[in-house]
Amino acid sequence: MLLHIQFDSETPIYQQVKDQIIRGIALGELKLGEKLPSVRQLAADIGINLHTVNKVYNQLKSEGWVVIHRKSGVMINPHLNLNQSSEALEELDDLLKNITAESFLKGISKDEFITLVERNYDRYNMRESE
């Protein structure tokens, strides 16, 4: 799996890496139980610091996306459960409050917005048919 970092972005590097790993899981590019590169390896590959990668891995661990073993390293959590929490829905709605408002004012219709959501979601459910 390839990571593309924009070093001139307002979005912090660690956030970009984190986002792309989570998206990689959803897309099926990263399988459950798949091993991730070591902190030193990934840092060297991307051209960033070891600690930045370590920060990513620790946050991913705190949020349950990966598990870390002492020697074997980091792997995607093999028991990722898609159990929906009420908090997740509330957090999403808080996000959408701002995003939909700005999108609406920028002339993006409800249907256009939903089409984008569908096109993204349809990339995730493909996993059974692979």
The residues that touch DNA, with contacts defined as CB under 7 A, are: 12-15, 36, 38-41, 47-52, 54, 57-58, 61, 68-74
Minimum CB distance to a second copy, residue 39 (Å):
22
| Closest distance of CB 95 from DNA, Å | 17
Q: How far apart are CA 22 and CA 14, in angstroms?
A: 12
Select from a second copy, DNA, none the partner in contact with residue 2, using the beta carbon and a kind-dependent cut-off of 5 to 8 Å.
none
The Cα angle at residue 60 between residues 72 and 124, in degrees rounded to 5: 100
Helices then strands, counting H and E runs in the chain, come out as: 5, 2
116 binds, among DNA, a second copy, none (CB under 5 to 8 A by kind): a second copy
Q: Considering beta carbons, is residue 47 or 107 the nearer one to DNA?
A: 47
Q: Residues interacting with a second copy, by CB under 8 A?
A: 19, 22-23, 25-27, 80-85, 88-89, 92-93, 95-108, 110, 112-114, 116-118, 120-122, 124-125
Min CB(91)–a second copy separation in Å: 9
Q: Is 22 exposed, middle or buried (0-12, 13-18, 19+ CB in 10 A)?
A: middle
In angstroms, rounded to a whole number, what is the distance separating the alpha carbons of residues 68 and 34?
12
* Cα atoms in the Cβ-side hemisphere of radius 13 Å centred on 117: 10
